[in-house]
């Protein structure tokens, strides 16, 4: 089934906001009449600058598997000229961004503008005095563009000890859950099967795939950085969700707090995964391989199903097709396929949450904002940096920082925007002039209302994947969002690391008693203190 591109009204989409990493980003479709097109390369340089460009450091997350040179980035240069700035990027692999940033923060070598992806990290560093206090600088007179993007009530939620230390950053389309269960459509059709809707149907499908395609792994998974929410939002999210739990999330009912990591239903979910693993339905390497290794398996046809981030499905399908054509000797001589993004998926089928025995599920959505952009307290001129961010968030400059140069990276025809998809060579990542084009790479904290023209620009495949993900009716949010808990900041990584180890052992066959031992340790090592602090903060915010 092909889903049409949806242009969501703001009121509908405003309830859907969540944060992401800056590699892929999106949001609501802006009213075309309200957004001015970005200046072209020539118009970007039309206004002579008399002031010397302001230079600042920027820690840039980059997929290091792809070639890139910031000194040859045409979009970066256009942004610098338009905003009269000079960005000094320090490149770091996207999967190591958090580790690298933490090292810099610990050493005091803080970038001038800092992107923080985790709320607890932001609160910790803000309390340590790492960021400049923006409380008296964020107002309608001085920062109208920022306040158009981020409402005052959201700034209130994002305050630390009553002060504003950063700008909440949406960074993605819609707010909520953005993962889909992905299955090989051709394999499923070969089995004479239908897309599963329940956990039992999925389990039986995997059993059938295992029997008839013994060389194909029924369910693939991959590891994550130590201490992060390894199981939530990837690998086995759909299994946990069918049991009504999701790892790492705190719950609240009538002012009382709990955590899914120690919920009895989590115990049941782990036993179910243990059974699947013992029956050979889960990749034996799930606990050790990285995401890029998972991709290699799925590209080569070794995976039947996996959990996928919504925006990756198009590339996955194209890579699978490329591999299939190569095996059959039908791949074009240059090894390239025409742009597939506006065609139906050829090899993949996407579906939402699987429901459990009671016809219910949970899908872990993020907070209304998942990132913060903060200005280092050591920056030579914090007010100047804030004014640069404010300027960058004008409608005109947002188009440039998000979409690049009009007429080159995107076009607007009859007020509708379309992205140019064949501008760069996929192998060299450069255009015909040898320029890199870092679209969506140098963004200045676009907020909750999001990126101009985004949804209308989506090709069919992206529209289908995003529509299915953000309209998942089983979305839940973490009840601890925006509540104060010093122990959570201090202890959560330790607790998550303990969970990751124990859950992995159980899935791979360890005695389920380890779960009970883990629950006791979780409570004793700070978990109960976290719950108590969350309850106190909840009551305080509720005025009780």
More confident residue, 20 or 104: 104
Domain limits for position 522? 179-364+476-542
User: What proportion of the chain, given as a percentage, has pLDDT over 70?
Assistant: 86
Q: Are 352 and 221 contained in the same domain?
A: yes
Single out the residue in 451, 484, 515 at which a domain terminates. Answer: 451
Single out the residue in 435, 451, 467 at which a domain terminates. Answer: 451
The model's pTM is: 0.70
Q: Is residue 519 part of a domain?
A: yes
Q: Are 422 and 534 contained in the same domain?
A: no
Would strands 475-476 and 85-93 be described as parallel, antiparallel, or unpaired? unpaired
How confident is the model over 156-183, as pLDDT tens digits?
A: 888 888 899 999 876 555 556 888 999 9
| Exposure letters 6-38 (e unless 16+ CB within 10 A, then b) | bbbeeeebbebbbbbbbebbbbbbbebeebebb
Does residue 54 register a pLDDT over 80? yes
Report which listed range, 347-351, 421-425, 451-455, is most confident.
Answer: 347-351
Q: Is residue 234 part of a domain?
A: yes
More confident residue, 158 or 194: 194
Model pLDDT, residue 493: 87
Within a 10 A sphere around the Cβ of 106, how many other Cβ atoms? 11
Q: Are 128 and 165 contained in the same domain?
A: yes
More confident residue, 11 or 448: 448
CATH number of residue 327's parent domain: 3.40.190.10
How confident is the model over 79-138, as pLDDT tens digits?
A: 999 999 999 999 999 888 889 999 999 999 999 999 887 777 888 899 899 999 999 999
Q: Are 289 and 324 contained in the same domain?
A: yes
Average pLDDT, the chain: 85
- Report the range of poorest mean pLDDT among 233-237, 238-242, 342-346: 233-237
Q: Average the pLDDT over 535-542 and give the result.
A: 86
Per the CB < 8 A criterion, the answer to whether 58 and 206 are in contact is no
Q: Are 432 and 481 contained in the same domain?
A: no
Does residue 26 register a pLDDT over 80? no
E strand map for 53-158: 54-62, 85-93, 113-116
Q: Are 226 and 328 contained in the same domain?
A: yes
Question: Counting beta carbons within 10 angstroms of the beta carbon of residue 322, is it exposed (0 to 12), middle (13 to 18) or buried (19 or more)?
Answer: middle
Residue 407 — very low, low, confident or very high, per pLDDT cuts 50/70/90? very high
Does residue 22 register a pLDDT over 70? no
Residue 49 — very low, low, confident or very high, per pLDDT cuts 50/70/90? low
Single out the residue in 451, 486, 509 at which a domain terminates. Answer: 451
Q: Is residue 466 part of a domain?
A: no
Q: Is residue 284 part of a domain?
A: yes
Model pLDDT, residue 15: 28
Greatest extent of the chain over all pairs of C-alpha atoms, in Å: 72
User: What proportion of the chain, given as a percentage, has pLDDT over 90?
Assistant: 60
Q: Average the pLDDT over 451-459 and give the result.
A: 79
Q: Is residue 88 part of a domain?
A: yes
C-alpha to C-alpha distance for 407 and 215, rounded to whole angstroms: 48
Q: Are 328 and 185 contained in the same domain?
A: yes
Number of structural domains in the chain: 2
Residue 78 — very low, low, confident or very high, per pLDDT cuts 50/70/90? very high
Model pLDDT, residue 160: 86
Model pLDDT, residue 4: 31
What string of DSSP letters covers 389-456? Answer: HHHHTSHHHHHHHHH-SBTTTEEEETTEEEE-SSSS-TTT-B-TTS-B--TTTS-----SS--TTTGG
More confident residue, 455 or 43: 455
More confident residue, 443 or 431: 431
Does residue 481 register a pLDDT over 70? yes
Query: Which H helix or E strand runs over 534?
Result: helix 528-541
Q: Are 356 and 404 contained in the same domain?
A: no
Q: Are 118 and 246 contained in the same domain?
A: no
Q: Is residue 103 part of a domain?
A: yes
C-alpha to C-alpha distance for 84 and 45, rounded to whole angstroms: 10
Q: Is residue 471 part of a domain?
A: no
More confident residue, 311 or 354: 354
Model pLDDT, residue 172: 55
Q: Are 151 and 195 contained in the same domain?
A: no
For the chain, what percentages of helix, strand and coil (3-state, to nearest 5) are there? 40, 15, 45
Q: Is residue 458 part of a domain?
A: no
Q: Are 286 and 323 contained in the same domain?
A: yes
3-state secondary structure (DSSP) of residue 167? strand
Q: Are 162 and 256 contained in the same domain?
A: no
Q: Average the pLDDT over 477-483 and give the result.
A: 87
C-alpha to C-alpha distance for 74 and 275, rounded to whole angstroms: 53
């Amino acid at each position: 089934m092909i889903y049409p591109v949806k242009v969501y009204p703001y009121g509908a989409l405003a309830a859907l906001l969540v944060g992401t990493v800056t590699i892929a980003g999106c949001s609501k479709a802006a009213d075309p009449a309200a957004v001015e097109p970005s200046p072209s390369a020539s118009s970007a340089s039309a206004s002579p600058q008399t002031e010397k460009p302001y230079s600042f450091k920027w820690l840039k997350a980059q997929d290091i598997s792809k070639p890139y040179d910031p000194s040859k980035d045409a979009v970066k240069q256009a942004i610098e000229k338009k905003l009269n700035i000079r960005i000094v990027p320090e490149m770091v692999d996207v999967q190591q961004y958090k580790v690298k940033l933490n090292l810099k923060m610990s050493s005091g070598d803080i970038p001038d503008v800092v992107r923080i992806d985790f709320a607890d990290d932001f609160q910790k560093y803000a309390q340590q005095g790492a960021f400049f206090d923006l409380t008296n600088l964020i107002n309608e007179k001085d920062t109208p563009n920022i306040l158009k993007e981020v409402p005052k009530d959201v700034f209130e939620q994002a305050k630390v000890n009553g002060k504003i230390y950063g700008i909440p950053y949406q960074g993605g389309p819609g707010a909520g859950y953005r993962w889909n269960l992905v299955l090989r459509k051709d394999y499923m059709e070969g089995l004479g099967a239908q897309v599963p809707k329940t956990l039992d149907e999925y389990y039986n499908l995997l059993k059938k795939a295992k029997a008839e395609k013994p060389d194909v792994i029924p369910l693939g998974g991959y590891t994550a950085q130590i201490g992060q929410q390894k199981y939530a939002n990837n690998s086995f999210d759909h299994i946990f969700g069918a049991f009504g739990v999701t790892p790492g999330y705190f719950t609240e009912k009538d002012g009382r707090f709990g955590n899914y990591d120690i919920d009895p239903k989590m115990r049941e979910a782990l036993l179910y995964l243990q059974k699947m693993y013992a029956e050979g339905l889960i990749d034996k390497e799930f606990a050790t391989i990285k995401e890029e290794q998972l991709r290699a398996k799925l590209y080569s046809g070794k995976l039947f199903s996996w959990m996928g981030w919504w925006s990756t499905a198009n590339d996955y399908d194209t890579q699978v097709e490329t591999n299939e054509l190569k095996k059959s000797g039908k791949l074009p001589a240059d090894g390239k396929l025409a742009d597939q993004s506006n065609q139906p998926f050829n090899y993949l089928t996407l579906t939402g949450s699987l429901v459990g025995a009671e016809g219910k599920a949970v899908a872990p959505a993020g907070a209304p904002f998942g990132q913060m952009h903060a200005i280092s307290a050591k920056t030579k001129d914090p007010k100047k940096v804030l004014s640069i961010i404010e300027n960058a968030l004008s409608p005109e400059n947002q188009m440039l920082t998000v979409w690049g140069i009009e007429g080159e990276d995107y076009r607007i025809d009859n007020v509708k925007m379309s992205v140019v998809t064949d501008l760069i060579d996929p192998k060299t990542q450069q255009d015909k002039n040898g320029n890199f084009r870092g679209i969506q790479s140098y963004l200045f904290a676009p907020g909750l209302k999001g990126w101009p023209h985004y949804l209308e620009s989506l090709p069919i495949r992206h529209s289908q994947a995003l529509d299915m993900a953000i309209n998942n009716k089983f979305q839940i949010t973490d009840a601890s969002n925006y509540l104060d808990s010093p122990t959570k900041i201090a202890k959560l990584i330790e607790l998550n690391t303990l969970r990751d180890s124990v859950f992995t052992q159980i899935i791979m066959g360890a005695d389920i008693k380890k779960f009970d031992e883990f629950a006791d340790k979780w409570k004793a090592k700070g978990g109960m203190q976290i719950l108590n602090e969350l309850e106190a903060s909840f009551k305080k915010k509720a005025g009780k």
